[in-house]
Amino acid sequence: MTPRDFYNDYYNILAATPELPPSFAQTTEYKWAFDGNGQLKTWEELQPLMDNNDSLKDDLETMFNRLGNPSDGTSPRIRNGYEDVVRNDG
């Protein structure tokens, strides 16, 4: 049995979130995950970048964890994004 890829889950939730905080794409730390228009790259585009690079994988987890920060007004985003992913992936 293949272990669950939580990084793919983090990505799916980020991708399903209608509007990610603009700071994600503007932050040098996460810029690798976004295209020139500030949109999250596809999973297929990100996978080769993350191969053997745990730091980049951890960036996905950090962005995911920051979605629910009530101080920036995004607290419902994590719940809505999670519900969209669960609804689509079962």
Region 16-42: what's the mean pLDDT? Answer: 91
Q: Region 28-57: what's the mean pLDDT?
A: 93
> For residue 2, what are its two tokens?
């293949």
How far is residue 76 CA from its own chain's centroid? 15
- Region 42-48: what's the mean pLDDT? 95
Determine the pLDDT at residue 9.
87
Side chain identity, residue 10: Y
Asked whether residue 72 carries a pLDDT value surpassing 80, the answer given is: no
Question: Are the CB atoms for 40 and 15 separated by under 8 Å?
Answer: yes
Name the more confident of 36 and 5. 36
DSSP state of 32: G
